[in-house]
Amino acid sequence: MSTPPSPVRAIVALSSNLGDRREILESAVRALDEAPGVRVAAVSPWFETEPVGGPEGQPSYLNGALELESLLPARELLGVLLAIETAHGRVRHGVKDAPRTLDLDLLFYGDERIHEPGLVVPHPRLEERIFVLEPLARLAPNRHLPGCRRSVLERLSELTIRRRGLRRAPAG
């Protein structure tokens, strides 16, 4: 008798800046929780942020993060995320940072590091994005970020200080 696979803890960022943003994000959470092999374990509060990059004049974003348990391999989980985006009206225009009804980014898949075409985990830009780190800090404040070698909370604090034009003075 074979042992069933153990679930992997994954973290997904969610964002929307078109339509009824809150309803779209909450619907995406429900869809993920109903997907075979996936169980949503925790959801962060929603945070409203101004767009970063992309076309001028686009609406503000509602952002959050969720932690889930997945029996699916990372590539299959990504397929579920993309299908949920499409089901919620996501259209890829080929314009970088264009407005969207729903964006689901796989931030972490357990402690795995994955570098495949179309799938990079941990997400390559998460350590530079306050709008990702803020909700992530509500779920996993002490999670280690491999690129900067800091916890989520430490990195969030560092970026917040930098955004204000402040820098920590060297010790001594």
Catalytic residues: 90, 100, 103, 105
What is the C-alpha to C-alpha distance for residues 96 and 81, in angstroms, rounded to an integer?
19
Query: Which three-class secondary structure state does DSSP give residue 121?
Result: strand
What is the C-alpha to C-alpha distance for residues 72 and 106, in angstroms, rounded to an integer?
13
Query: Which three-class secondary structure state does DSSP give residue 127?
Result: helix
What is the C-alpha to C-alpha distance for residues 151 and 86, in angstroms, rounded to an integer?
33
What is the C-alpha to C-alpha distance for residues 14 and 9, in angstroms, rounded to an integer?
16
E strands within the chain? 8-16, 38-43, 47-49, 61-70, 103-109, 114-116, 119-121, 144-145, 150-151
